[in-house]
Amino acid sequence: MSRFACAVVPRFPVSALLRAEPELRGCPLVICRQEGAVANGRSPGPRSILVGVSREAERLGIRTGMTVAQALVRHSDLVLRPRDERAIGAAREALLDIAGSVSPRIESDGNAVYLDIEGLDKIFSSDGGIAAALSTRAERIGLTVGVGTAGSKTTARIAAGLAARTGEAILVAAGKDATWLAPHPLSVLTPVTQAARARAASPRETWPALQESFQRLGLRHLGDLARLPSREVGSRFGKAGTRLWRIAAGKESSPLLPESPPLEFTEGVSLEYSVESLEALLFLMRGLIDRLIHRLAIHGLSCGGLRVGLDLADGGHAERRVGVLAPTADVKALAILTRHAIEAEPPRAAIVGVRAIAIADRPRPTQLDLFRPTGPSPERLATTLVRLAALCGSERVGRPVPPRGHRPEAFTVTSFDPVSEERVRSKGTEPEPEPSRSGRAALRALRPPRRAQVFQEGGNIAYVRASGLGGRAVVSGGPWRIETEWWSERPCRRDYYDVQLSDGGIYRLFRELGGGAASVGDQWFIDGCYD
């Protein structure tokens, strides 16, 4: 026997906007569709029609279908917002993310989503566990849903709509759809008849016309409709009437039309007023990033980069790419990177709309070792790399690689991608044990080399002076000469020395030779110090 669940977001345009602007919760909020003249192109005009009303505004007597002028007469302190298609689209995608994290077979239907939950009781224990999982995960991403479960999609949709009003999930027992539906009024069919209006063969088959006909016959509840003979209902009310009879009798069996959740994770918002300051823009971006991270976490993913789209007041569009060195879920680090990306190339005009697209990536797994201390987790390592890149620049953080050449100071930086020991073993190459380094000093290179003044006596180094150091030479060794790249325009000819100074430091120096022999023009540099 099939089992379905349905999750419904009540007052969907309002819920989508509150998710994007949580500071408006508790305010008498109304959503408007633009009609007629608009003052500044974004603010609702007096003839705009209300398409969404919050609970607080509804308590003040505000209803959908009113104009802004009619609503303001009843209450002058309403919060007016135009219908934000970007926020609604992001909320709809987030709802699909929630459903996809519970069941692999889902179907979207506007502000509702259907799930095939047959067999999922082995994972969630019961229908109540499935409903609790949907509600909890929806709250994490800023949505409130009503959840219903039943033996058919339509019954589950009706149950979810009623659950959205009461705040508690409604679980219809298997095989009891007709019994549960019988005492409910015919008006509960209104949400499930929205899609059928476009398919109606004649005006008589629309839901308002059918509802009026049912009332004339004295039918008040679904049980009254279910007790009528199906053939008589079909001959008098057509296919639409037969479908409603099958719903009331618990015999509706429309299949689930599964669809795949979107591969892109997008969050966006249209602004009521244009934004010119960077701080205000980053405040908005942080909210978008936070919601993206919560959606990625539902699928066990991290953020491997961002694409930021900016709608400009002059009608143009700007896009910025935010790269990260490793997948991360750190909102603060991603906000810092976004700031650097926008500061590097500021938009040419004020901003009226923002969109952020996350590039999903899997966090790097790690394998514990029985004989070595535990290192930082891949998540913490990725976060550290992201913050270093934000502070120093992405081009300065990575893994040094020597290029083809012979200059000791030459290197390039590539992306940091540590190879785990397990990956090395899988290739059949066991890493060689590192030799013991006890009693050996490590050279800390100075890049770029620091210019120095060197005084010699009898061909030996006597005194060294440079920025931050200086002293008499106590012990010195060298020279060790290198000659390379003589075939190029910049040949390299140097003498290297190791020197211990009276200040206690041990340094490596080199003299850049010119003209093939030592001359007055030779230059000295500090190449590094020994730790």
Question: pLDDT (tens digit, 9 = 90+) per residue, 262-272?
Answer: 677 999 988 87
Is the pLDDT at 355 greater than 70, yes or no? yes
Q: By three-state DSSP, how is residue 6 classified? A: strand
Query: 101-125 pLDDT, tens per residue?
Result: 999 899 988 889 999 999 898 899 8
Question: Residue ranges of the domains in the chain?
Answer: 22-83, 176-262, 263-427, 443-530
pLDDT digits (tens, 9 = 90+) for 316-335: 899 998 877 778 888 888 88
SS3 471: strand
- For residue 199, name the pLDDT band (cuts at 50, 70, 90): very low
Cα–Cα distance, 304 to 370 (Å, whole number): 31
* DSSP code for 489: S
Joined tokens for residue 474: 């106590």
- Comparing C-alpha atoms, which of 102, 105, 126, 189 is closest to residue 154? 189
Bridge partners (DSSP) of residue 413 are 400
Q: Which CATH superfamily is domain 176-262 in?
A: 5' to 3' exonuclease, C-terminal subdomain (1.10.150.20)
Classify residue 113 as exposed, middle or buried by CB count within 10 Å of its CB (0-12, 13-18, 19+). Answer: buried
Topology of 263-427 in CATH? Dna Ligase; domain 1 (3.30.1490)
Contact 373, 317 (CB under 8 A): no
Phi-psi region of 410 (alpha: psi -120 to 50; beta: other; left: phi over 0): beta
3-state class of 10 per DSSP? coil
pLDDT one-digit tens code per residue, 333-346? 888 888 888 887 88
Which pLDDT does position 518 carry in this prediction?
39
The span from the CA of 230 to the CA of 249, in Å, is: 10
Angle, helices 331-344 vs 378-392, to 10°: value is: 30
Please tell me the distance from the alpha carbon of residue 496 to that of residue 513, in angstroms, as a whole number.
Answer: 11
**Contact yes or no for 137/29 (Cβ under 8 A):** no
Total Cβ atoms within 10 A of residue 428: 6
Amino acid identity for residue 232 in this structure:
E
3 state DSSP class of 91: helix
Instruction: Output the 3-class SS for 387-433.
Output: HHHHHHCHHHCCEEECCCCCCCCCCEEECCCCCCHHHHHHCCCCCCC
State both tokens at 381.
Answer: 């390592």
Name the CA radius of gyration of the chain, rounded: 35
Comparing C-alpha atoms, which of 158, 221, 229, 168 is closest to residue 193? 158
Instruction: Select 22-83's CATH number: 3.40.718.10, 3.40.1170.60, 2.60.40.10, 3.40.50.10540.
Output: 3.40.1170.60
Q: Is the distance from CB of 233 to CB of 227 less than 8 angstroms?
A: no
Among 40-54, 298-312, 466-480, which stretch is predicted with the lowest mean pLDDT? 40-54
Residue 443 confidence (pLDDT): 84
| pLDDT of amino acid 43 | 62
Task: Report the percentage of the chain scoring pLDDT > 90.
Answer: 30
From 80, 91, 72, 76, select the one nearest 54 (Cα to Cα): 80
Name residues whose C-beta falls within 8 Å of residue 309's C-beta, 6 or more positions apart in sequence: 268, 317, 318, 319, 354, 355, 356, 357
Least confident of 8-22, 69-83, 287-301, 431-445: 431-445
Let me know if the fold of 22-83 is the same as that of 176-262. no
Give the residues across from 460 on adjacent strands. Answer: 457
pLDDT at 138 over 80: yes
β-bridge partners, 473: 501
Rounded-to-integer distance, Cα 206 and Cα 240, Å: 8
Who's near 191: CB < 8 A, 6+ residues apart? 8, 112, 157, 158, 161
Q: Are the C-beta atoms of residues 480 and 495 closer than 8 Å to each other?
A: yes
- Cβ atoms 31, 14 nearer than 8 A: yes
Please, what sign has the CA dihedral across residues 106, 107, 108, 112? negative
Q: Please give the Cα distance from 358 to 136 (Å, whole number).
A: 23
Residue 382: the pLDDT is 65
Instruction: Calculate the CA dihedral of residues 522, 527, 530, 531 and round it to 10 degrees.
Output: 150
